[in-house]
Amino acid sequence: MCLDQYSMLPATPWGVWEIIKRTGIPTLGKNVVVAGRSKNVGMPIAMLLHTDGAHGRPGGDATVTISHRYTPKEQLKKHTILADIVISAAGIPNLITADMIKEGAAVIDVGINRVHDPVTAKPKLVGDVDFEGVRQKAGYITPVPGGVGPMTVAMLMKNTIIAAKKVLRLEEREVLKSKELGVATN
C-alpha cells in the first residue's frame, strides 16, 4: 500500500474507508485525526486517508494527524477539536469525549475494550469513544459493538473472494500453458 503496489487492503482499514465513502463523508482537503498507530489498523487507515486518490486506487487526499496511547490527552484534544474526521483505534475506553469533538465531525470508533459494567456486574464491550456524549455533537458516529466490526467482516469476505479469483486465474493460466506445451492435465 505504501509502495503504491497492488496488495489487498487490510480488512478493518478497508471497512473504515467504506464507511466514510458510502456515507458520503468528504475527505478531500479535510483534517483527520487517527488515534492509534498499530501496523494492522491505525497506520493503514492513516495511509488510506492521506493517499492521493487520483490514480484509481483508494485515497482520501486528507491531512492526517496520527496520535497514540501515549499522546497526552490535552495535546490530542488540540488536534481533535479541529478535525473533520476522528478515528479512534487506540484501545482506551473514553479516550475521545464530547469536549474534544468539533460540532458536526465524523467520529469512527474502531476501539474494542472489555470493561466492567457496574449495573449488570458483567463485562461489556465499549469503544474508545464516549458514545453517549459524543453523539450529541458528531455529524456521524459509529457504535461499538455493531459499527466497524460488521464492515471488517464484510471486507474480509471481499478479500477472500479477491484472493480466490486470483488463485483461479493463476490456475487457469497454468492449465492453458500446459495445453500449449502439450502436457496432459487432469
Sign, Cα dihedral of 78, 84, 89, 91: positive
C-alpha cell at position 76: 490530542
Domains and CATH numbers, the chain: 11-181 (3.40.50.720)
SS (H, E, C) 121-165: CEEEEECCECHHHHCCCCCEECCCCCCHHHHHHHHHHHHHHHHHH
Print pLDDT tens along the chain (186 aa).
555 556 789 999 999 999 999 999 999 999 999 999 999 999 999 999 998 877 667 788 999 999 999 999 999 999 999 999 999 999 999 999 999 999 999 999 999 999 999 999 999 999 999 999 999 999 999 999 999 999 999 999 999 999 999 888 877 777 777 777 666 555
C-alpha cell at position 95: 479516550
Helix 11-22 with 148-181: angle, nearest 10 deg? 110
